[in-house]
Structure formats: C-alpha cells, structure tokens
C-alpha cells in the first residue's frame, strides 16, 4: 500500500506554544497571477498551560457570516490570562469561498462540508479537508462549527448535535449543545452526511456542536449575539474559561425522519404560507409555488407531512425543482 503523503499546508504558528498567536495556514497554490503563490487561511491559537483544546471554525460555507464575525471578534478579544488550555480559531475555514461570498469554492467548486476526509494531493478544497482531518481534529477535544442558512435558506436560531452510536459521546455533545445557549436546540437529521466535517469529528470521538443561526446571506444583530454568547458559553462549560454560563431557555427540537422535509417538485415563485417558528399540523399548506411561465394557472400547494414547528424555509423567493421549501421539526420540550 502506498503511504499517504504529507499535506502541503504549513502553519505559521506553533500549536504548542503558550500565548496568543495570529498567523496562517499556508496552502501553496500555483496559478496564472501568482506562479509561486499561496492561499493564506487566517487562524489564531490562544494557549495557557495544560488543559482541553477547543477547535472553533466558521466559513465552512462562504455565504454564512455569524461564524466568521463571532470568531474574528473572539480571536481579538480572548484573554490568555483567563484561559486554561488551548483554543484554535479558524474563522474562514474555506477562505476562497468566504472571499467570493459563495457556498462552494470558486477555485474548484468544492463544498468543504462534503469533502472529508479530503486528500493531500487533491483539489484545494480536498487539501483543506485533509489538513483538518489529519492535523487539527486530532488535537481537539471540543469542536464547534458555526453555520447559518447562507443565501438559500433561513433557520430558527439553533445549536445542534446528531444521534451517535456511542451514547456517552452523544450525551457530551448534547451537553455542549445545551450549554451553547441558542434559543432552540436541534437533534439534527442530515439529508446527506457523506463527507461532512461533522461526521469526521464525530468519528474521531470528539465532542461536536454545530449551529444554524439564521440565513438569507447575511447576519443580524440577534444572530451574531447568539453566536458570540455561544462560543464563550462553550469555553466555560468545558473548563477553558472561568465564569458563569449566560443561560438561555432553549426549546428542544427533533428531526426524526425524512417527513420533516418539504421538497419542491416545481420551479417558480415561492409563497410561504407559514413563518419560521409557526406551529403547523400535518396536512397544513406551508408553501405554494407559482408558475413563471403563464398566468391563469393555479399554484402548486405543498403541505406539511408531520406536525411541529416550522424550523427552516427556502430563501429567497424563487425556487427550483428539488429545493427544500420547508423543514418541520417536532417539539420535544
């Protein structure tokens, strides 16, 4: 068997050194405008003695902004003297996508959150995934990946974890999810978990927490405040920072099966008939899709397949065949 080659990414920081370091993950990238160029992914390492390691990431998708904003602020403000352990902060995980404001990388169209475990000799996106898979994730005890809906989805603001075969690990993830302190907590079902960063972290036994904190291709004062409070709550919960959790009463939600998803079989203009947070019953009309081809034809109605809370919706107002129109989550308490 051929040995797996080294990843070409090199850090400009020393992960084992105490103090605050602002640097880069340097990924060589030869291209027309820079023959010996590199993609310089910013990161911060804050370390003070022994203790757990937290790996905090944003910008896994480039059109989601709560993570990049909250983590750049944390990187600037985190006081090393109040810390016990190590925090690795990567606000712009897929930097080319963040710079373009797109979900996927403009270089190779790679969706970083579907590219794990990656390849050290693959595309730019695959190289980033491989570096996290084989270098950063093994260092971490706690992993937080901050997401929102980007340009095509909008969510109730929730922290999330997944059902895992290791129930002790799942309990630790659930405790982290609750400690984050978002208005909602979600036991999350993924439509397609193959190649996800989430799965890569969970398969290594890490405590993994993720979020969906809004959407529409921007952030709000409220969604950013939830993210900022959440990252500090997690550091306190896992013993890296002293202090009291900023408590928030969270409504617990569940996505138990595929009936949660309402999928469009038409292209056209979207009319939402329920708003985020509304209670719906099975059979209720949650959306209509109107034709863009002609007038005088009725819209297609889309109904909830289960009762619960409208937790997500398509954004903005035009849809394609196959788009998720809505997600109805079960309320657990």
pLDDT, tens digit (0-9, with 9 covering 90-100), for 63-98: 999 999 999 999 999 999 999 999 999 999 999 999
Same domain, 163 and 50: yes
Bond preceding residue 316 cis, omega within 30 of 0? yes
Give me the pLDDT at residue 194, please.
Answer: 84
Give me the pLDDT at residue 193, please.
Answer: 75
Same domain, 37 and 158: yes
- Report if residue 1 sits inside a domain: no
Same domain, 203 and 327: no
Same domain, 315 and 238: no
Give me the pLDDT at residue 331, please.
Answer: 95
Same domain, 134 and 282: no
Q: How long a stretch of residues is the chain?
A: 333
- Report if residue 5 sits inside a domain: no
Same domain, 159 and 196: yes
Nearest Cα neighbor of 273 from 325, 324, 316, 322 is: 325
The three-state secondary structure class of 24 is: strand
Which CATH number goes with the domain that contains 240? Answer: 3.40.630.10
Same domain, 210 and 314: no
- Report if residue 2 sits inside a domain: no
- Report if residue 100 sits inside a domain: yes
- Report if residue 3 sits inside a domain: no
- Report if residue 187 sits inside a domain: yes
Give me the pLDDT at residue 4, please.
Answer: 72
Token pair 């550091």 is found at 235
Which CATH number goes with the domain that contains 268? Answer: 2.40.50.100
Give me the pLDDT at residue 1, please.
Answer: 45
Same domain, 201 and 181: yes
- Number of structural domains (the chain) is 2
Same domain, 14 and 137: yes
Give me the pLDDT at residue 2, please.
Answer: 54
Same domain, 248 and 262: no
For residue 282, give the H/E element and its range.
none
Same domain, 246 and 180: yes
Which pair of tokens denotes residue 79?
A: 């006081």
What is this structure's pTM? 0.94
Using only C-alpha atoms, the chain has a radius of gyration, in whole angstroms, of 21
- Report if residue 76 sits inside a domain: yes
Q: Over the stretch 209-258, which tens digit does the pLDDT of each residue have?
A: 999 999 999 999 999 999 999 999 999 999 999 988 887 789 999 999 99
CA 311 to chain centre: 16
| Share of the chain residues as helix, strand and coil, in percent rounded to the nearest 5 | 25, 30, 45
- Report if residue 42 sits inside a domain: yes
Q: Which domain holds residue 34?
A: 10-253
Domain end (from 210, 235, 253): 253
Cβ-contact 41, 90 below 8 angstroms: yes
Domain end (from 253, 274, 291): 253
Cβ-contact 253, 329 below 8 angstroms: yes
Same domain, 163 and 287: no
Block means of pLDDT (10 residues each) for the chain, 333 residues, are 80 98 97 95 98 98 97 97 97 98 96 97 97 98 97 96 93 96 89 88 97 94 97 97 86 93 97 97 98 95 97 95 97 85
Domain end (from 216, 232, 253): 253
């Amino acid at each position: 068997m051929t040995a797996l080659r080294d990843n070409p990414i090199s850090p400009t920081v020393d992960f084992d050194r105490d103090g605050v370091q602002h640097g880069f993950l340097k990924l060589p990238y030869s291209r027309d405008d820079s023959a010996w160029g590199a993609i310089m992914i910013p990161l911060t390492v804050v370390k003070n003695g022994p203790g757990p390691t937290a790996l905090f990431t944003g910008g896994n998708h480039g059109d989601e902004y709560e993570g990049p904003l909250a983590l750049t602020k944390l990187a600037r403000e985190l006081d090393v003297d109040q810390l016990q352990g190590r925090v690795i902060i990567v606000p712009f995980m897929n930097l080319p996508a963040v710079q373009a404001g797109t979900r996927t990388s403009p270089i190779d169209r790679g969706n970083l959150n579907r590219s794990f475990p990656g390849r050290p000799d693959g595309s730019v996106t695959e190289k980033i995934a491989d570096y996290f898979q084989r270098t950063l994730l093994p260092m971490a005890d706690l992993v937080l990946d901050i997401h929102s809906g980007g340009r095509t989805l909008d969510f109730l603001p929730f922290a999330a974890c997944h059902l895992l075969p290791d129930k002790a690990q799942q309990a630790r993830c659930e405790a982290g999810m609750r400690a984050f302190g978002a208005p909602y907590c979600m036991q999350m079902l993924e439509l397609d978990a193959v190649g996800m960063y989430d799965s890569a972290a969970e398969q290594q036994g890490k405590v993994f927490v993720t979020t969906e904190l809004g959407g529409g291709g921007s952030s709000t004062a409220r969604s950013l405040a939830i993210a900022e409070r959440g990252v500090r709550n997690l550091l306190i919960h896992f013993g890296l920072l002293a202090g009291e959790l900023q408590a928030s009463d969270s409504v617990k939600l569940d996505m138990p099966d595929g009936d949660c998803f309402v999928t469009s079989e038409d292209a056209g203009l979207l009319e939402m008939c329920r708003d985020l947070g509304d209670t719906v019953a099975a059979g209720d009309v949650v959306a209509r899709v109107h034709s863009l081809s002609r007038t005088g034809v009725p819209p297609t109605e889309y109904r909830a397949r289960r009762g619960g809370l409208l937790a997500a919706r398509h954004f903005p107002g035009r849809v394609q065949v196959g788009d998720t129109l809505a997600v109805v989550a079960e309320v657990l308490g």
